[in-house]
């Protein structure tokens, strides 16, 4: 049974606009660390030992109350407790919904006006600054807060299911239009719930098995602490635009028939009927329960929210402010979002130099991805090698993982083509480190392969390692600087990979690097390089492996590969709309950043343009691209060829060569 959400430390209202007489209802959750609460206002510094709590402000979207954040609040509180970190979390009802004021005139609604509400709430709380998270319409409010209303109050910005304004907020797909109309025309609450859920969740999630029995999931909601003088929050009223929001999630339990039925049906929940229950039934029950415990949103409040979405716009100067702010900005978006398609978030993230994570979910991606987190299972760091020199580099990085404190329980695996036989000294080094050697079947490479990438397609066999629940794949021609254990904890997805941030995502790939030099132009029907295959986080499966093999390497037939098409090109072609993108330079940076010492600042995907030293400190892996691989030249020769290179390039070369002498 899910544990109930802890009672909020404070539930109150605050006057955020004296002129318009607008009051905002909020809930503050204040965890206890070692039995000491972090306090509502800034802690006293007189003792000099109390840790400043992390402060998080959550801003919801159209027609939804702060109750829609309860699932995330519960997870944040649990996470902060496990880390021993004090945290304060505030979620509130936007004007126009729930327990906040609901002005009738549309002039009282805009993303800037509602951002001023957020700033006034922070002022009331005594918060100097906070980490701000917005969902759907809440991303518009959060962006205005950081860009123009109160930039100094924002420590970081997380924008979930970001919605654009104007025509970009209109439903584009037949799916979105159909279910939006069904929401508006539904005659029953159940009918509206069904349509609303199809609009906000993927079909796969709705039809998946219930994560808990109906009795246990609803009993947990019923057992949660009820808020004084208030129901648990309003249900979504309508979803005709890109600013719509999810059905509220369970937290404060209803005292009506649904909760009673859940309690009385606990014994039956273990039977066959419970086993067949789907997520859809759970979500409908939640939706209906909250709608019955809260008066519906006033029509003028809904219209005010939709007016806010339609008229939202970030000006060029506001975008410039966000680019120059030097705060972390992260977009999280569902690949199958029909309410706010990911194109807007992808475009805005590029304009701001921000990071974006694309997940296999719909509009309520934060709920879907949380339910799909990887559980326990075998894990592995995986490399591939098809030549002796690459095997040497693999051994160097496997040794570095151990020295850097990588999880010893995660296997170390190296994939080799069946035709490649490692040298005895290399096999001995691998055996001494407990490395598993896996032979891949023959996988034909590109027609103009000149030897350097001979066997490069063998890395694709990583998708067939189905005895592992999650693997981190790394190219051998790299230098691991920090372990990557945290990537094992990413939400479930077939493939995660860092953005190929050194390429223009809007143009076809026009060249590749071979032996340190450029070769002829390449274009594959406008193929765009979105991500790099030098680092991947993969959930192996027979489905994925057979899909790749049957499509690209059919038995008895020539490979479906264009002339000069390598593994990265193939994967971008096959997974261009499915791969979940990770930050670029902060995970994997390319060595060409340090080829010249005067290239400061250089481009990185996280904070716009950063310095060479800053990028070196942040990068977990440096991939050897330009000016070439360490085995092309020793450090002395590198210094002669590139006398103006940054010292970090020489350092990377020295590190690799010293390790190769000891290990290979």
Among 211, 388, 182, 198, smallest CA distance to 287 is for 198
Residues 496 and 589 in one domain: yes
pLDDT value of position 656:
97
CA 663 remoteness from chain centre: 37
- CATH number of residue 222's parent domain: 3.40.50.1820
Residue 358 scores a pLDDT above 70? yes
Residue 104 scores a pLDDT above 90? yes
Q: In angstroms, what CA-CA distances link 4 with 12, 74, 211, 256?
A: 21, 8, 16, 18
DSSP string for residues in 539-602: ---HHHHHHHHHHHS-TTS-----TT--HHHHHHHHHTTTPEEE-STTTEEEGGGGSSTT--SE
Residues 254 and 393 in one domain: no
Cis peptide before 601 (omega within 30 of 0): yes
Per-residue pLDDT tens for 583-614?
Answer: 666 788 889 889 988 765 555 444 455 688 88
Residue 389 structure tokens: 């020199």
pLDDT value of position 493:
82
Judged by average pLDDT, the poorest of 121-125, 459-463, 504-508 is 504-508
pLDDT value of position 523:
37
| Among 21-30, 283-292, 501-510, the range of highest mean pLDDT | 21-30
Cα-trace Rg, the chain: 27
Mean pLDDT on 490-519: 56
Contact indicator for 274, 268 with CB cutoff of 8 Å: yes
Residues 196 and 60 in one domain: yes
Under 8 Å CB-to-CB from 473, ≥6 apart: which residues?
382, 383, 384, 459, 462, 533, 535, 536, 537, 538
**47 inside domain:** no
Per-residue pLDDT tens for 233-247?
Answer: 332 223 333 333 333
Judge residue 362's burial from the number of C-beta atoms within 10 Å of its C-beta, 0-12 exposed, 13-18 middle, 19 or more buried.
buried
Contact indicator for 484, 534 with CB cutoff of 8 Å: no
Average pLDDT, the chain: 78
Residue 566 structure tokens: 């390598």
pLDDT value of position 445:
56
Q: How confident is the model at residue 661 (pLDDT cuts 50, 70, 90)?
A: very high
pLDDT value of position 370:
64
User: Would you give the DSSP letter of residue 632?
Assistant: G
Domain final residue pick, 337, 371, 405: 371
Residue 388 phi, psi dihedral angles, 5° rounding: -60, -40
Residues 425 and 446 in one domain: yes
More confident residue, 283 or 566: 283
Judged by average pLDDT, the poorest of 74-88, 369-383, 518-532, 587-601 is 518-532
Q: Above pLDDT 70, what percent of the chain?
A: 74
Please name the helix (run of DSSP H) or strand (run of DSSP E) that holds residue 284, with its range, or none.
helix 279-292
Residues 405 and 330 in one domain: no
Residues 272 and 388 in one domain: no
The CA distance from 397 to 82, in Å, is 31
The CA distance from 261 to 257, in Å, is 6
Judged by average pLDDT, the poorest of 68-72, 90-94, 139-143 is 68-72
pLDDT value of position 330:
84
pLDDT value of position 564:
57
pLDDT value of position 511:
36
Residue 284 scores a pLDDT above 60? yes
Identify the domain containing residue 404 by its residue range: 379-663
Residue 140 structure tokens: 């518009």
Residues 121 and 185 in one domain: yes
Residue 600 phi, psi dihedral angles, 5° rounding: -100, 120
Residue 394 scores a pLDDT above 70? yes
- Strand 602-603, strand 609-610: pairing: antiparallel
- Strand 355-359, strand 54-59: pairing: unpaired
The CA distance from 375 to 386, in Å, is 33
Per-residue pLDDT tens for 304-346?
Answer: 999 999 999 999 999 999 988 878 888 889 888 989 998 899 8
pLDDT value of position 94:
96
Residue 393 structure tokens: 């580099």
Per-residue pLDDT tens for 524-541?
Answer: 344 566 788 999 999 998
Return the residue matching tokens 């003792």: 47
Among 436, 440, 384, 376, smallest CA distance to 411 is for 436
pLDDT value of position 455:
64
| Among 123-132, 243-252, 332-341, 554-563, the range of highest mean pLDDT | 123-132
More confident residue, 373 or 56: 56
**602 inside domain:** yes
Q: Is residue 70 classed as helix, strand or coil in its secondary structure?
A: helix
More confident residue, 439 or 492: 439
Residues 230 and 299 in one domain: yes
Judged by average pLDDT, the poorest of 16-20, 252-256, 344-348, 474-478 is 252-256
Residues 419 and 284 in one domain: no
**599 inside domain:** yes
Judged by average pLDDT, the poorest of 12-16, 58-62, 511-515 is 511-515
CA 381 remoteness from chain centre: 21
Q: In angstroms, what CA-CA distances link 347 with 106, 350, 354, 356, 476?
A: 29, 5, 10, 10, 32
- CATH number of residue 556's parent domain: 3.90.550.10
Q: Is residue 89 classed as helix, strand or coil in its secondary structure?
A: strand
Residues 129 and 188 in one domain: yes
Q: Looking at 586-654, which runs of residues are DSSP E strands?
A: 588-590, 602-603, 609-610, 621-623
pLDDT value of position 382:
97
Residue 480: count of CB within 10 angstroms of its CB? 21
User: Would you give the DSSP letter of residue 380?
Assistant: E
Under 8 Å CB-to-CB from 570, ≥6 apart: which residues?
457, 460, 552, 561
The CA distance from 319 to 322, in Å, is 5
**45 inside domain:** no
**4 inside domain:** no
**2 inside domain:** no
Please state the domain count of the chain. 2
pLDDT value of position 299:
92
Give the chain's largest Cα–Cα span.
81
Residues 23 and 144 in one domain: yes
Residue 361 structure tokens: 């979910």
More confident residue, 341 or 521: 341
CA 631 remoteness from chain centre: 36
Judge residue 52's burial from the number of C-beta atoms within 10 Å of its C-beta, 0-12 exposed, 13-18 middle, 19 or more buried.
exposed
- Strand 36-37, strand 54-59: pairing: unpaired
Q: How confident is the model at residue 232 (pLDDT cuts 50, 70, 90)?
A: very low
More confident residue, 324 or 103: 103
Q: How confident is the model at residue 446 (pLDDT cuts 50, 70, 90)?
A: low
Domain final residue pick, 348, 371, 394: 371
Contact indicator for 68, 15 with CB cutoff of 8 Å: no
**331 inside domain:** yes
Residue 246 phi, psi dihedral angles, 5° rounding: -80, 160
Q: Is residue 470 classed as helix, strand or coil in its secondary structure?
A: strand
Residue 468 scores a pLDDT above 60? yes
Among 580, 564, 592, smallest CA distance to 342 is for 580
Q: How confident is the model at residue 150 (pLDDT cuts 50, 70, 90)?
A: very high
Q: How confident is the model at residue 458 (pLDDT cuts 50, 70, 90)?
A: confident
pLDDT value of position 44:
38
Contact indicator for 621, 474 with CB cutoff of 8 Å: yes
Return the residue matching tokens 């002022």: 123
The CA distance from 530 to 577, in Å, is 9
The CA distance from 508 to 498, in Å, is 18
Q: Is residue 101 classed as helix, strand or coil in its secondary structure?
A: coil
pLDDT value of position 46:
39
Among 537, 606, 634, smallest CA distance to 349 is for 606
Among 561, 614, 615, 608, smallest CA distance to 587 is for 615
Return the residue matching tokens 């304009």: 351
Residues 510 and 617 in one domain: yes
pLDDT value of position 32:
61
Residue 21 structure tokens: 């007489």
Q: What is the pTM of this model?
A: 0.63
Residue 391: count of CB within 10 angstroms of its CB? 26
More confident residue, 538 or 418: 538
Q: What share of the chain is helix, strand, coil (3-state, %, to 5)?
A: 40, 15, 45
Among 521, 529, 525, smallest CA distance to 561 is for 525
Judge residue 655's burial from the number of C-beta atoms within 10 Å of its C-beta, 0-12 exposed, 13-18 middle, 19 or more buried.
middle
Domain final residue pick, 347, 371, 395: 371
**3 inside domain:** no
Among 253, 268, 177, smallest CA distance to 219 is for 253
Contact indicator for 274, 263 with CB cutoff of 8 Å: no
Q: Is residue 257 classed as helix, strand or coil in its secondary structure?
A: helix
pLDDT value of position 367:
84
Residue 515 structure tokens: 């032996």
pLDDT value of position 261:
30
Q: How confident is the model at residue 425 (pLDDT cuts 50, 70, 90)?
A: very high
Residue 556 scores a pLDDT above 90? no
Per-residue pLDDT tens for 182-211?
Answer: 888 888 889 989 999 999 999 888 988 776
């Amino acid at each position: 049974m899910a544990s109930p959400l802890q009672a909020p430390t404070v539930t109150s209202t605050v006057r955020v606009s004296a002129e318009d007489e607008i009051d905002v209802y909020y809930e503050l959750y204040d965890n206890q660390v070692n039995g000491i609460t972090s306090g509502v206002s800034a802690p006293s510094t007189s003792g000099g030992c109390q840790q400043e709590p992390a402060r998080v402000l959550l801003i919801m979207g159209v027609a939804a109350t702060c109750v829609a954040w309860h699932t995330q609040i519960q997870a944040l509180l649990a996470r902060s407790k496990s880390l021993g970190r004090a945290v304060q979390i505030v979620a509130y009802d936007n004007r126009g919904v729930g327990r906040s004021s609901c002005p009738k005139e549309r002039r009282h609604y805009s993303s800037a006006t509602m951002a001023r509400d957020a700033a006034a709430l922070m002022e009331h709380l005594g918060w100097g600054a906070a980490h701000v998270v917005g969902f759907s319409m809440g991303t518009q409010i959060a962006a205005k807060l950081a860009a123009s209303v109160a930039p100094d109050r924002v420590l970081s910005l997380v924008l979930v299911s970001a919605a654009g304004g104007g025509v970009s907020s209109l439903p584009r797909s037949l799916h979105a239009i159909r279910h939006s109309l069904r929401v508006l025309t539904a005659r029953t609450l159940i009918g509206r719930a069904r349509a609303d859920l199809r609009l906000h969740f993927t079909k796969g999630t709705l039809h998946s098995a219930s994560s808990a029995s109906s009795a246990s999931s609803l009993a947990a909601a019923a057992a949660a602490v009820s808020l004084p003088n208030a129901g648990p929050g309003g249900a979504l009223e309508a979803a005709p635009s890109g600013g719509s929001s999810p059905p509220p999630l369970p937290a404060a339990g209803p005292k009506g028939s649904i909760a009673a039925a859940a309690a009385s049906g606990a014994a039956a929940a273990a039977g066959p009927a419970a086993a067949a229950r789907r997520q859809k039934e759970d979500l409908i029950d939640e939706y209906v329960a909250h709608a019955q415990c809260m008066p519906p949103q006033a029509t003028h409040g809904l219209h005010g929210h939709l007016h806010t979405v339609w008229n939202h716009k970030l000006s060029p100067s506001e975008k410039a402010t966000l680019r120059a702010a030097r705060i972390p900005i992260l977009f999280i978006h569902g690949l199958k979002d029909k309410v706010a398609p990911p194109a807007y978030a992808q475009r805005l993230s590029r304009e701001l130099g921000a990071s974006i994570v694309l997940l296999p979910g719909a509009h309520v991606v934060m709920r879907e991805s949380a339910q799909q987190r990887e559980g326990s299972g075998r894990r592995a760091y995986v490399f591939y090698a098809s030549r002796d020199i690459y095997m040497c580099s693999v051994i160097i990085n496997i040794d570095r993982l151990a020295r850097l404190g990588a999880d010893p329980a995660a296997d170390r695996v190296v994939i080799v083509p069946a035709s490649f036989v490692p040298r005895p000294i290399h096999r001995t080094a691998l055996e001494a480190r407990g490395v598993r050697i896996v032979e891949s079947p023959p996988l034909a490479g590109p027609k103009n392969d000149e030897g350097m990438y001979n066997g490069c397609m063998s890395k694709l066999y990583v998708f067939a390692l189905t005895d592992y629940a999650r693997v981190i794949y790394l190219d051998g021609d790299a230098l691991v600087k920090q372990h990557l254990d945290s990537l094992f904890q990413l939400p479930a997805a077939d493939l995660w990979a860092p953005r190929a941030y050194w390429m223009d995502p809007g143009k076809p790939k026009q060249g590749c690097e071979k032996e340190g030099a450029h070769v002829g132009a390449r274009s594959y029907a406008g193929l765009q390089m979105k991500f790099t295959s030098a680092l991947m986080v993969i959930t192996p499966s027979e489905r994925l492996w057979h899909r790749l093999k049957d499509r690209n390497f059919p038995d008895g037939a020539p490979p479906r590969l264009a002339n000069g098409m390598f593994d990265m090109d193939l994967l971008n072609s096959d997974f261009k709309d499915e791969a979940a993108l990770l930050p670029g330079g902060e995970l994997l940076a390319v060595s060409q950043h340090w080829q010249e010492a005067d290239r400061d600042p250089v481009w990185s995907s996280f904070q716009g343009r950063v310095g060479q030293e800053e990028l070196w400190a942040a990068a977990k892996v440096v991939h050897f691209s330009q000016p070439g691989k360490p085995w092309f030249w020793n450090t002395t020769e590198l210094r002669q060829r590139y006398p103006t290179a940054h010292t970090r390039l020489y350092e990377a070369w020295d590190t690799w060569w010293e390790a190769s002498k000891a290990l290979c």
